[in-house]
Structure 1
């Protein structure tokens, strides 16, 4: 699922989301290779190692001065223009709280400054909107490398090249960490007959079987498969989910399972089929969504998704909190 990302976190999200394809496969519930399209999620690939900073890059980051108490916006100063050839970072202060482990959800505050002039471009301390991500998510390799094994309260300083090719300095502070489930847990729900069938692997990863004679619906289909016991999700929340997305021909176009970790995003920042389909569901639930084009990407091609495509999603709702 493509979603909007703030300028700050986009600057440190170094890995791109891989799109994978699959076609008809072996027999599974709901049909066979001859009469159904089987969408299997590609297994998580090993993350590519982040580029190694040079000795000069490390010296540049060491020269970034960060001061001020933990929990407050830091004062950040450095000699301009600041340049690095590869992303570089250092631990400014070690935390004293709970340990940061892979798979846990870290909440961070951060400030971003332009390397050219040292001017601040974004600060969550000013917006009062800290952000969260899953430790181990390959989109945040630079943060993972520095934060996993540290503790809440840790501060890191980073210099990296943003998407617009300008150098940015980012100071990140971890304000909290929380363990969340990796899959939906609750009461199984018997789906309506005729819908795409979902089969779960031992770890919860779904395989979707779509009958070849399945007619694309004109209205959004919302079919709970597992009902959790958490609070109901609202449209204005940020959700953390595991999900797999398929086309009706069995092509897998996106999956958090293939990236190895859940993902978080504001529910009001995605396609309307997701906003309408997830709002009102309980945390801990798994839901099948069949999204007609007018509630997806419409007549616009979007990456591996052709124009006017009906989209099939299996979504595990792991957490929901204020955006």
Structure 2
């Protein structure tokens, strides 16, 4: 079983997002009217509890040597290959600064090391790009309980299974805590009438979308950017980090990704996503909802990506909740 950690650790330690099934429908509501493929987002589920580490897991993590002062990239040494059967943690240093409370915004530095050979997979000390997130957010379920109640300066060691099923060791240091900004949970603004023939979007009371792809819809060769709600915030630029709610579908109605299913918005730099997102979200206003139809050459191209087949056209509904300097 894999579990989530942090947004920035996604490439090396995040769990995969559960795929949600959708089906073509010819009866009931707007789906019958369109005769198209209906993509429904599965509501957020209660997270499954993480399995408990074994005695062997605890001994393996206790044997890891960490050296170097707080505030600097540490040296982490262990006998490779390192194996654990469940996420296993060790507090290396207690913090002495401000207390970390549920809902606060914390900033961390982290170092990620491959358990198989001890090689470094990533380091925010080297990139000088620490990560900031809200304590209690569902996508940080591995870190929340270990950080809440601790103090700034705390260093936490973790060994867990990554997306590629390899074991990775992560050293986290909390460098800052502050009140989290007040960010809405859905787009709010003026409704925009979309062009005819595009996938249609229906919203639940909480803003969660259901997407219907017309039966005769042909995959476009160019990126389609259709505002559905126009917000009144500042225009987003390509060099910013955005906070969004979003759902992603294939043209056959398969839902492959959704922040609504995870129960919380997510944040990431626009410079680090597929070109269709970078080009489609930049220039839109904060508070807006946008429909994106992304051709394969602005998505993953000939590369299969998780539950997304090669050469797939992707359909997204994106609520742009916030944007700030990366």
How does the TM-score come out when normalised to structure 2?
0.79
- 1:267-307, Cα deviation, whole Å (9 max, x unpaired): 22322211110111122221011122332233444333334
- Aligned-pair RMSD on alpha carbons? 3.3
What corresponds to 1:73 in structure 2?
Answer: 72
Displacement of 1:46 after TM fit? Answer: 2.7
Aligned to 2:171: 170
- Give 1:224 deviation, angstroms: 1.1
Residue 101 in 1 paired to residue 135 in 2? no
Q: What's the TM-score once normalised by structure 1's chain length? A: 0.80
Distance 2:264 2:305 in 1: 23
Q: Distance in 2 between matches of 1:264 and 1:289?
A: 18
Which deviates the most, 176-185 or 39-48? 176-185
| Residues 298-321 of structure 1, C-alpha deviations (whole Å, 9 max, x = no match) | 344433333443321100112223
Query: Take 1:206 and 1:95, find their aligned partners in 2: how far apart are those partners?
Result: 44
CA distance in 2: counterparts of 1:167 and 1:287, whole angstroms: 37
1:193 to 193, 196, 205: 196
- 1:254 positional shift: 1.6
Distance between the aligned counterparts of 1:217 and 1:295, measured in 2?
11
Specify the SS of the correspondent of 2:146: helix
Q: Would the alpha carbon gap of residues 78 and 41 (structure 1) be closer, same or farther in structure 2, given more than 3 Å must change?
A: same
Query: What does 1:1-323 align with in structure 2 at a 5 Å threshold?
Result: 10-13=11-14, 15-25=15-25, 27-29=28-30, 31-32=31-32, 35-58=35-58, 61=61, 68-69=69-70, 72-73=71-72, 75=74, 80=79, 83=82, 85=84, 86-91=86-91, 92-94=93-95, 96-97=97-98, 99-101=100-102, 106-113=106-113, 122-133=122-133, 135-136=135-136, 139-148=139-148, 150=150, 153-161=153-161, 163=164, 165-176=166-177, 178-179=180-181, 180-323=183-326
Q: Which moved more, 1:307-316 or 1:291-300?
A: 291-300
Q: How many residues align?
A: 313
Q: 1:95 to 1:218 in 2, by over 3 A?
A: farther
1:142-173 CA deviation, whole Å, 9 max, x = no partner?
Answer: 21331245565544222335557355241331
